[in-house]
Structure 1
């Protein structure tokens, strides 16, 4: 992996449920994903966005953009990534698929979408 390609910084978040102390209701939120003791809030990445598309859903015009995000490989349970989301440049990307390079130990390739969930 060429380090000069990793010019973007992404923030990886995982879902978090907390309980409201007054009502007892579960509140869904997001928190930074940690790898051991290291927060994944400024991960060097290469973000390649594709062409967006517009469509009509729920009687309103919606838009969606796809992206491929490449990051350095690190040991992690791959099923954990599917629950996470990525913040980059004011956008929220949902992870739809995860691939690795041929060696399996150089980079993660995340296929993501933003827009309508």
Structure 2
């Protein structure tokens, strides 16, 4: 994958539960696992968006990044203050270890 395609910088966050010091209650929060990851963000075209509505009504873009061990669909992606929820991870067709294509939905993910 050419490095020039990966011109965006994203943060990948994972959900974690943190104990509230006052109540002792476990409160969900997000922690950045990988900051400033090089990626490509491509909004879906109108045709792709209509086709995606059949199965994934909220999918608005596709993000491509190099393979990362430990990345999973329970995480979320932040780019310039916009929260993207991961709809799935699609590994490359050759080895499955070069890059991921990630369909994402947009919106606040509180966990």
Q: Structure 1 length as normaliser, TM-score? A: 0.74
Contact residue 65 and residue 115 of structure 1 kept, 8 A: no
Aligned pair in 2 of structure 1 residues 12, 108: CA closer, same or farther (>3 Å)? same
Question: What runs of 5+ residues in structure 1 fail to find an aligned partner?
Answer: 34-39, 54-63
Q: CA RMSD in A?
A: 2.1
Matched residue pairs, number? 98
Q: Which residue of 1 aligns with 2:54?
A: none
Q: Max radius of gyration: which structure? A: 1
Question: What runs of 5+ residues in structure 2 fail to find an aligned partner?
Answer: 50-57
The answer to whether structure 1 residue 107 and structure 2 residue 102 are counterparts is no
Aligned pair in 2 of structure 1 residues 51, 90: CA closer, same or farther (>3 Å)? farther
Distance 2:18 2:88 in 1: 28
Q: Which has the higher strand share?
A: 1
Q: 2:64 aligns with which of 66, 70, 94?
A: 70
